[in-house]
């Protein structure tokens, strides 16, 4: 049984690791300025973990094979050095790894979530509801109109609860069901939810953020390629959660300006 | 000494309302067994839908006409099954079997006590837990069905009531009530474990001679005391938001199902903080007894002492302590202050150190051993393997900058199933095969046990390792289906996982059969079939109602005397009756 | 049936104190978060009878401490004072309701009711325990205090300390 266990474990380990190494299923190519940093962090962790995974499983398999009872009544041996090498080894190796990953990782994290908002960023107001996203642009006046929850009426497409009749800043707000943005431009999303918690995730951008009812949560990024990708909801929001989706369209500056003009109310 | 109850008489006192910790322990294990069967069936239904979304499930349409007309699961039914699966498994299997089940049976024996410190509270804790399960299962039978907000029940989805979706009416309230009741049962249990370990140790059983498994149960009970004391208020406030119109967790200005909600000022993040302040220690409550069980069993079959057993205990205490500092790692992207992400990430990574030390010490124990590869030993080895796998995927998630991608994907599902659904389960299996002879006076069938082990090991890797690949590719969790355009390419892998899950589920029949068959026909078990040193093996199998009779044992050595020169190669903790012992 | 060993009973009460402390800590943190986070906090004056109730509860701790030497009648006195406290709390809730402040009226009143009701429920448990102690002291005949008196006293005094803490939080924050 010891031999069988060792063989099975070895096969499992090699196949599992092999599939990771061969990148059979892998992250989609990133389209974000910060994506490279995240991917680098991911790969560092992948290498360290991969080595740890393979070595520990194979050592386990080896030890089970080698030290199984063969009925020869031999004396048992203590690991040389006792527990001290384990304590020191684990503390030092894991400690160093943690230190390195934390330092590098904090810079990446800070780049995404702790940077002050870029004053030149294009602001887009995002509303999440069961089960759709709506995006709002400030329009030529550069100011978002006020939102009034009691005025929200999906039937007449007043998703945000704007009051154009009484609020001049709301009159030119552009509302869209897709997030259309210009390439290589810092974007600042302001996320708010109409009902329950949702989330905004674009795998290719590598970032996600929860919508918290009652709060307005900022999210910054810059897209580097002109593509059309999907935005998905990653925070359980009800029965339509699996279907809550929108498109992110990254266009050239000219195309974007044209789109904005075409979609003015 | 402790509360002395005489030998039980009558069917009810012996088998139903028993004060005997051994009976109560077995009752908890039976409860967990029932719960795991229900939880597994739910998971098969979920997996079937994920792998074969357009294939009707025979009979499902009859059982759930609203949720699965024609046998095809609706999204709300999927989410309801998912919520109940998680809740039942986490609370009624993983918190119950390793801690309340085995701990109740074994701990008083291992410390040399007659029974737990408060046998009546102990009995109450079991029946309270039973009540909690009944209340939870009742959610299946209310008109709108069980809640769909996941075992994490995030507000405001869980707090708003039925405007927010199906199952979120009575079903969600029953959920919250059930969990609140469960908390009380757990607190009564922790009470007993702590008092028994502190006050009822037999003569000579100093803290440094306690078996590692007792230490693990003791630390778990302290963690549980604090954790469940926080979950209970959270559930109370959730119930009040739902039925009494308060706004602890619900902010103002919400429009749900076209209705402006009459709440204001509450904080959804408050629920998350309270829940995860409980929730993270909870997963350590699920795994720490497993650490104790593996640390206890491995030396028995390696025939040598646990390497660095004092270090192991120190690490268990460190993990217990650190478990309270990391809860925010479930909330990196929740909208809480991003600075706190770093604050939570560091202890999350640091907790890897004691866990790694313990794992290395286990592997170091195997070095130079004379491993007897019985079924309990195999499950210990399997535990080490799957815990390493699950721990390593945790390493990714502990870093906020990587979590921004992996949060909410199948990578997380793979991670927590490896550490909880597999490792903790392997701990339960190891404990079952190990202590079955003591509990029932019969040996389990070794051939069936080994077959169960090797097929399950292969099966769980086939189920949960692929989930990491899905996660890397961006597959999102809690989706009831992967509709045509998004992630259509993941369907073949989901099919593979489903088939592996159904296969592994079927393999568990071997285990259930073994349990029943061995009860009836297993070979009679001697007092100490495994040649182990701790006190539970110094009494008959099964032990008499008062464990040690009129002679409480006198302990003169620690639990680690294995690999001693000569025959036998071990020395038991208790000496035979010393003339001065009376 | 003998009681649990005195030391185990006391350990049990300490464990219970730990659990109850943690749960009220959770409510406290919820209160602080709630107050800081939203603009809808409405302060109100605590019903003055709360202060009288406090004196009654503290007096009951004194009578219980004296009961060890003076016998079962003083345990009964403690129990009576406990019931008086509960009655006083009921009165306070009635007073608030008369002002139109119910559980869901505003967050401050929500916390007021939650905290005081939970304290009262836990105190009721203590009253039941006192009743049990009285029964045993009477049955023992010689009136000697059972070992559990120490454990129940510990719990009772904790209820007083907890009440002082809650009163402080309510007075300062509400």
pLDDT score for B576: 67
- Asked if B368's CB is within 8 angstroms of A78's CB, the reply is yes
Task: For A170-192, write each residue's pLDDT tens digit.
Answer: 989 999 999 999 999 999 999 99
ipTM of the complex: 0.96
Question: Which residues share a beta bridge with A250?
Answer: A181
Q: Token digits for A190?
A: 């302001």
pLDDT score for C136: 86
Cβ neighbours, 10 Å, residue B437? 24
Return the HEC string of B56-79.
CCCCHHHHCCCCCHHHCCCHHHHH
How confident is the model over B74-95, as a mean pLDDT?
96
> Is residue C43 within 8 angstroms of chain B, CB to CB?
no
Sheet with A179-182, edge to edge strand ranges: A179-182, A245-251, A228-232, A198-202, A207-211
Sheet with A217-222, edge to edge strand ranges: A174-176, A132-137, A122-129, A186-193, A217-222
Judging contacts by C-beta atoms under 8 Å, the chain B residues touching residue C19 are 187, 190-191, 225-226, 228-229
How confident is the model over C65-83, as a mean pLDDT?
91
How confident is the model over A218-244, as a mean pLDDT?
94
- Asked if A106's CB is within 8 angstroms of B335's CB, the reply is no
Contact B192, B116 (CB under 8 A): yes
Chain C nearest C-alpha distance from B52 (Å) = 44
Of B261 and B465, which is predicted with more confidence?
B465
Q: Which of residues 72-111 of C touch B (CB under 8 A)?
A: 103-104, 107, 110
Judging contacts by C-beta atoms under 8 Å, the chain B residues touching residue C118 are 236
Whether B460 has a pLDDT exceeding 90, the answer reads yes
> Is residue B236 within 8 angstroms of chain C, CB to CB?
yes
- Residues B529, B527: Cα–Cα separation, whole Å: 6
Q: Token digits for B578?
A: 């010393």
How confident is the model over A5-12, as a mean pLDDT?
97
Q: State CA A47 to chain mean position distance.
A: 20
Structure letter (DSSP) for residue A153: B
> Is residue B120 within 8 angstroms of chain C, CB to CB?
no
Residue whose C-alpha is closest to residue A187's, from A126, A259, A109: A126
Chain A nearest C-alpha distance from B364 (Å) = 6
- Asked if B3's CB is within 8 angstroms of C3's CB, the reply is yes
How confident is the model over B124-140, as a mean pLDDT?
97
- Asked if A91's CB is within 8 angstroms of B333's CB, the reply is no
pLDDT score for B289: 97
Q: What is the model's pTM? A: 0.95
Residue C42 banded pLDDT, cuts 50, 70, 90: confident
Whether B90 has a pLDDT exceeding 60, the answer reads yes
Q: If you measure CA to CA, which chain B residue comes closest to C10?
A: B195
Task: For B241-300, write each residue's pLDDT tens digit.
Answer: 999 999 999 998 899 988 888 888 899 999 999 999 999 999 999 999 999 999 999 999
> Is residue A24 within 8 angstroms of chain B, CB to CB?
yes
- Asked if B247's CB is within 8 angstroms of C19's CB, the reply is no
- Residues B405, B474: Cα–Cα separation, whole Å: 8
pLDDT score for C84: 96
Q: Which of residues 444-483 of B touch C (CB under 8 A)?
A: none
* B542 Cβ contact list (under 8 Å, min separation 6): B22, B438, B439, B440, B441
Chain B nearest C-alpha distance from C37 (Å) = 7
B4, B198, B233 member nearest C23 (Cβ): B233
Q: How many secondary structure helices (H) and strands (E) does chain A include?
A: 4, 10
Pairing of strands B259-260, A198-202: unpaired
Chain B nearest C-alpha distance from C141 (Å) = 21
- Residues C124, C109: Cα–Cα separation, whole Å: 22
Question: Helix or strand or coil: residue A192?
Answer: strand
> Is residue A47 within 8 angstroms of chain B, CB to CB?
no
Q: Token digits for B516?
A: 């029943």
Question: Which residues share a beta bridge with A246?
Answer: A231
Residue whose C-alpha is closest to residue B415's, from B439, B431, B398: B398
Whether A139 has a pLDDT exceeding 70, the answer reads yes
How confident is the model over A144-158, as a mean pLDDT?
90
- Asked if A196's CB is within 8 angstroms of B255's CB, the reply is no
pLDDT score for B425: 97
Whether C147 has a pLDDT exceeding 80, the answer reads no
Question: Which residues share a beta bridge with A68?
Answer: B371
- Residues B389, B387: Cα–Cα separation, whole Å: 5
Question: Which residues share a beta bridge with A176?
Answer: A135
- Residues B193, B261: Cα–Cα separation, whole Å: 45
Whether B16 has a pLDDT exceeding 50, the answer reads yes
- Residues B2, A255: Cα–Cα separation, whole Å: 82
Residue whose C-alpha is closest to residue B292's, from B200, B364, B218, B351: B218
Quote the Cα angle for B575-B579-C1, to 5°.
Answer: 85
- Backbone φ, ψ for residue B580 (5° rounding): -85, 0
Contact A52, A20 (CB under 8 A): no
Quote the Cα angle for A18-A20-A21, to 5°.
Answer: 65
Residue B582 banded pLDDT, cuts 50, 70, 90: very low
Helix axes B170-199, B212-243, angle to 10 degrees: 150
| Residues listed for chain C | 174
pLDDT score for B579: 43
* Percent residues over pLDDT 90 in chain B: 84
């Amino acid at each position: 049984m010891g031999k069988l266990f060792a063989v099975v474990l070895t096969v499992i380990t090699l196949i599992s690791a092999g599939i990771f190494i061969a990148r059979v299923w892998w992250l989609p190519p990133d389209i974000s300025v910060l994506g490279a940093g995240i991917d680098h962090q991911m790969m560092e962790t992948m290498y360290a973990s991969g080595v740890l995974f393979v070595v520990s499983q194979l050592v386990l398999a080896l030890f089970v094979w080698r030290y199984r009872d063969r009925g020869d009544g031999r004396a048992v041996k203590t690991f040389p050095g006792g527990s001290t090498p384990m304590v020191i080894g684990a503390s030092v190796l894991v400690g160093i790894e943690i230190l390195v990953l934390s330092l590098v990782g904090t810079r990446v994290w800070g780049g995404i979530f702790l940077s002050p908002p870029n004053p030149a960023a294009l602001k887009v107001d995002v509303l999440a509801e069961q089960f759709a996203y709506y995006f709002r642009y400030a329009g030529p006046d550069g100011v978002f109109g006020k939102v009034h929850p009691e005025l929200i009426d999906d039937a007449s497409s007043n998703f945000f609860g704007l009051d154009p009749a009484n609020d001049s800043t709301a009159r030119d707000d552009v509302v869209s069901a897709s997030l259309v943005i210009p390439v290589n431009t810092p974007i600042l999303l302001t996320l708010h939810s109409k009902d329950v918690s949702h989330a905004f995730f674009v795998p290719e951008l590598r970032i996600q953020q929860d919508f918290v009812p009652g709060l307005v949560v900022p999210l910054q990024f810059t897209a580097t390629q002109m593509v059309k990708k999907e935005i998905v909801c990653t925070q359980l929001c009800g029965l339509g959660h699996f279907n809550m989706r929108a498109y992110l369209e990254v266009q050239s500056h000219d195309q974007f300006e044209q789109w904005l003009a075409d979609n003015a109310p | 000494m402790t509360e002395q109850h005489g030998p039980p008489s009558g069917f009810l006192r012996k088998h139903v309302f028993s004060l005997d910790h051994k009976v109560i322990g077995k009752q908890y294990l039976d409860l967990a067994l029932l719960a795991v069967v229900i939880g597994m069936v739910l998971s098969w239904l979920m997996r079937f839908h994920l792998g074969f979304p357009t294939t009707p499930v025979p009979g499902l349409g009859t059982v759930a006409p609203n949720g699965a007309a024609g046998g095809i699961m609706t999204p709300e039914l999927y989410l309801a099954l998912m919520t109940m699966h998680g809740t039942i498994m986490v609370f009624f299997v993983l918190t119950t079997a390793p801690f309340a089940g085995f701990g109740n049976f074994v701990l008083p024996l291992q410390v040399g006590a007659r029974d737990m410190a408060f046998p009546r509270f102990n009995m109450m804790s079991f029946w309270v837990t039973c009540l909690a399960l009944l209340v939870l299962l009742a959610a299946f039978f209310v008109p709108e069905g069980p809640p769909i907000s996941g075992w994490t029940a995030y507000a405001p989805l869980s707090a708003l009531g039925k405007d927010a979706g199906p199952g979120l009416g009575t079903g969600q309230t029953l959920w919250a009530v059930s969990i609140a009741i469960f908390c009380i049962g757990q607190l009564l249990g922790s009470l007993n474990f702590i008092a028994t370990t502190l006050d009822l140790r037999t003569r000579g059983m100093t803290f440094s001679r306690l078996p590692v498994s007792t230490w693990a149960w003791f630390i778990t009970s302290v963690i549980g005391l604090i954790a469940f004391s926080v979950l209970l208020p959270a559930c109370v406030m959730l119930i009040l938001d739902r039925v009494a119109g308060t706004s602890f967790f619900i902010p103002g200005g919400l429009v749900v199902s076209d209705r402006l909600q009459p709440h204001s000022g509450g904080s959804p993040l408050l629920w998350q903080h309270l829940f995860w302040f409980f929730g993270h220690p909870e997963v350590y409550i699920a795994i720490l007894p497993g650490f104790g069980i593996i640390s206890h069993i491995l030396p028995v079959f390696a025939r040598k002492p646990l390497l660095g057993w004092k270090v192991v205990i120190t690490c268990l205490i460190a993990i217990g302590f650190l478990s309270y500092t990391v809860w925010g790692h479930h909330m990196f992207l929740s909208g809480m202050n991003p600075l706190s992400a770093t604050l939570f990430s560091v202890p999350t990574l640091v907790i890897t150190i004691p866990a790694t030390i313990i794992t290395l010490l286990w592997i170091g124990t195997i070095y130079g051993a004379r491993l007897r590869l019985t079924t309990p030993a195999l499950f210990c080895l399997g535990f080490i393997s799957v815990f390493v796998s699950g721990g390593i995927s945790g390493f990714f998630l502990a870093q906020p900058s990587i979590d921004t991608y992996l949060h909410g994907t199948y990578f997380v599902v793979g991670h927590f199933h490896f550490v909880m659904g597999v490792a903790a389960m392997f701990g339960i299996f190891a404990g079952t095969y190990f202590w079955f002879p003591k509990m029932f006076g019969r040996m389990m069938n070794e051939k069936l046990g080994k077959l169960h082990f090797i097929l399950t090991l292969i099966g769980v890797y086939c189920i949960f390792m692929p989930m990491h690949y899905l996660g890397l590719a961006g597959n999102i969790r809690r989706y009831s289906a992967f509709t045509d355009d998004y992630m259509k390419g993941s369907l073949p892998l989901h099919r593979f996982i489903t088939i592996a899950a159904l296969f592994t589920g079927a393999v568990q029949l071997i285990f259930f059969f073994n349990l029943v068959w061995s009860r009836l026909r297993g070979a009679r078990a001697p007092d100490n079939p495994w040649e182990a040193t701790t006190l539970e093996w110094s009494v008959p199998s099964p032990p008499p109602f008062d464990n040690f009779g009129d002679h409480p044992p006198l302990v003169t050595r620690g639990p680690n005397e294995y690999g001693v020169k000569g025959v036998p190669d071990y020395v038991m903790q208790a000496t035979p009756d010393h003339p001065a012992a009376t | 049936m003998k009681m649990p060993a005195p030391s185990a009973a006391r350990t049990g009460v300490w464990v219970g104190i730990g659990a109850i402390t943690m749960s009220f800590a959770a409510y406290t943190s919820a209160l602080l978060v709630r107050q800081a986070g939203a603009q809808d906090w409405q302060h109100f004056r605590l019903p003055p009878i709360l202060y009288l109730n406090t004196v009654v509860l503290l007096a009951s701790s004194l009578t219980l401490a004296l009961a060890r030497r003076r016998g079962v009648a003083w345990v009964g006195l403690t129990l009576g004072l406990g019931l008086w406290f509960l009655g006083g709390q009921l009165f306070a809730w009635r007073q608030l309701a008369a002002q139109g402040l119910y559980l869901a009226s505003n967050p401050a009143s929500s916390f007021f009711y939650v905290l005081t009701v939970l304290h009262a429920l836990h105190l009721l448990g203590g009253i039941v325990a006192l009743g049990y102690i009285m029964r045993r002291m009477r049955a023992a005949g010689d009136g000697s205090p059972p070992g559990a008196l120490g454990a129940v006293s510990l719990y009772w005094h904790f209820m007083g300390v907890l009440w002082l803490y809650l009163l402080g939080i309510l007075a300062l924050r509400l």
